[in-house]
Amino acid sequence: MMYHLQWYITRELLKTFALTAIGLTLIFSLCGGALNIIQADMLTAVQIAQLMAFVLPVATTLTLPISALFACAMVYGRLAADNEFDACKSSGINIHRLLAPAVGLSVFTAVFTFSFANYVIPKYIEQLDEMVRKDLQKVAVGLLRSRGYMRHGPYVLYAGHCELRPGEEEQEVLYIREAAFMELEGSNLVRVGTAEEVRVDFWVQPGASLPVVEACMYNVYGVDIKQRQTIDLKRQRLDPQEIPSQAKQNPKWLTLNELLYFQGNPSEMVTVRRDVEAFRRQVGEAFFYRDLVQQWRQNKVIRLGDERRRYEIQVDRLELDVRAGQVEQYMPRNMLGVTVQMYEPDRKITYQADSCAIRVNRGATDRNDTILIVLEGNVTFADPRNPRNVVTHRRQDLPALPFPRRFEQQVANLSDENLFGKGLPGTRELETMNLGRRIDEARKAIGQELVKMGLSITAIIHSRLAFSSSVLVMLVLAAGLAIICRGGQLLTAFVISFIPGMVIVVMNVMGRQLAEKPGTALAGVGVIWLGLVLLAVADAVVLTRYLRR
C-alpha cells in the first residue's frame, strides 16, 4: 500500500518537476546574453549549437532547485486540497512517510547542484572561453562596432572603421582606420595619440596554449605625457600581449578543487599574479638602486657593466629621493658633479657633467629591462674620432646596459611566503624589507589584494556548499507548507516555493558580501549558513507540530 502511494506521488513529482525545469531552462538560456549573441549574426549554425550546448547546463543548474521547489509545493498542495492526506491519515498511514519522494528529489537535486556548480559548469565555462578565443578577430570586430573601443592590458584602442582581411596561414587580420589609442600605467595616462591605420594580428605561439595579440600602427601622431615629448612616427609596433583565459581570472568559474588550492595560495591566481610579478620587478629595481647607493658610500664610485661595456661613475654628491616627507635611503634621485669612464673593447671615453641620472627602463619582460644613464648640464667629452676635439652638450644619453641578472636571481630566490608572510597575508604588520617606503607601500597594497582574493574564494566555497545543502531542507519545507495551506492553486504553490527559496538566496548573497570584507569575514560565513539553519528549524516545527495536526 505504502509503495503504491509513494510511487504515485513520485510520478506526479517527476512530471511536474520535468516540465517546470524544461520551461525555466529555456527561458533562462534564451532570454540572456546568448540571445543577443545569436541575434548579432556573427556565429555559424554549428557555433550556435555549441554555444547552446554550453549554456543549457549552466541554466539547468540554476533552474533545477527552483523547479524542484515548485514541483513539491504544487503536487503536495494539490493532494492536500483533494483531501488525499486526510484519507491516508484516517486509514492509519503515517503521512510523514509520504514525504519520502520529496526527500528523494531533494537529495537528487542537491547532488546535481553540487556536482554541476563545483565541477561541470566551470569546465563548460572554460570550453566556452576557448571557443570564443578561437575567433578573437570576430569578437574584436563585434566589440569595436558595438562599443567603439576595446582594451587589453595597458592599451585602449578606439576605432572609426574596422574590417577583417585575409592574412597568412588562413588567419584573418583586423584592420582599423581612423584610430585613437591610449596607454595607461595603472590609472595614470602616459601616452595618447592617433593613427591613420592599425593592423592587429592574433596568433598562437608554438607549444603555447594562450593566444597572443600584436598590433602595428601607421602614421602615428601623439603625446608621450610621461616623457613630455611629442610622437610623430611612420610606424610603431606594440609589444605582443598574451590573452589569458577569462574563466581562470574569475574565481566563481573555478572548480572546487581549484578553489581549495587557491584558497591556500591566493598569489597564484592569474589576476593577482600579474601584480605580484610586477612587484617582484619593483623589488629587483630596489635591490639595484640599493647597490648603487652602497657602492657610492664606500668610495664615491659606482661601477656598472658587463663584458661588452662597463662604466665607472665618480660622483661628488648624491641626492636621495624624498617620499611622503621621508628620505628614501636607497633611492637615488640625482648625482651631482660626475665623471664617467666608459670602457669598451676598442675604446675608452671620459665624460664630465654637472649631474647624472641612472634609471631602470622597463621592457616587455624582465629579460628586456635595461639601465639608462643620462648626463645633463655642461656634458663634455673627447670626440672618439678626434681626441683633441672636446665636444660639449647640454644632455647626453649613454649606451644602455642590460639589467644585471644577479638582482633578478636575488628576487627569484624570494618565495611569495618570504615577501608577504606565511598564512593569510595582509592580516598583520610585516617587517620592512629595508628597500624604502615605496616598496613597503606596494607590498602592503599587494598583501591587501591577496587578502581580498582569499576571502572572496572562501566566500564562494561556503556559498556553493550552503546553496547545495539547502536544497535538502527547502523541498521538505515546501511540501510541508503546501500540505498545511492546502495550496493546490498555481499562485499558492508559487508563493510557498518562493518563501524558502528567497530566504536562502537573500542570506547567501548578504553573507557573501560580508564574507568578502576582512572585518566581517567570519560573520559573513555564519550568515551564509544561517539561512540553512533557519530552514532546518522551520522544517522541524512544521513536521513535528503543524503537520501532525
At residue 327, the pLDDT reads: 54
Task: List, in order, residues 6 or more apart from 517 with CB less than 8 Å away.
Answer: 455, 524
What is the per-residue pLDDT for 324? 47
Rounded distance, CA 167 to CA 152, Å? Answer: 22
- List the beta bridge partners of residue 398: 373
Host H or E run for residue 191: strand 188-204
The CA distance from 108 to 65, in Å, is 10
| CA neighbor of 136 nearest in space, from 167, 161, 160 | 167
Q: Do the bridges between strand 229-242 and strand 301-305 make them parallel or antiparallel, or are there none, so unpaired?
A: unpaired
Residue 209: per-residue pLDDT: 60
pLDDT at 6: 86
Whether the CB-CB separation of 500 and 135 falls below 8 Å is answered with no
Cβ atoms of 367 and 405 closer than 8 Å = no
Distance from C-alpha of 396 to C-alpha of 375, rounded to nearest angstrom: 5
DSSP SS3 for 413 = coil
Predicted pLDDT at 228: 78
**CA-wise closest residue to 109 among 78, 70, 54:** 70
CB count in 10 Å sphere of residue 322: 12
Strands (E), 96-228: 149-152, 155-158, 161-166, 172-185, 188-204, 211-224
pLDDT value at residue 148: 81
pLDDT confidence of residue 109: 93
- Cα radius of gyration rounded to whole Å, the chain: 33
Per-residue pLDDT 10s for the chain (549 aa) are 677 888 899 999 999 999 999 988 888 777 655 555 555 555 566 666 777 777 787 788 888 999 999 999 999 988 888 888 888 888 888 888 888 999 999 999 999 999 988 998 888 777 777 776 667 777 777 777 777 888 776 778 888 888 888 766 657 788 888 889 888 877 788 889 999 998 888 777 655 567 778 888 899 898 988 777 888 888 888 777 777 666 667 888 889 999 999 988 888 887 888 888 888 888 888 889 888 888 998 989 999 988 889 999 999 998 887 664 455 666 787 889 999 999 988 888 899 999 998 888 876 555 668 899 999 988 998 877 777 788 888 899 999 899 888 888 888 888 888 888 765 544 456 677 777 778 888 888 888 888 899 999 999 999 999 999 999 999 989 888 888 888 667 788 888 888 888 899 999 999 999 999 988 999 999 999 999 999 999 989 888 887 766
Cα distance between the two ends of the chain: 23
Dihedral angle, C-alpha 502, 508, 511, 515, nearest 10 °: -160
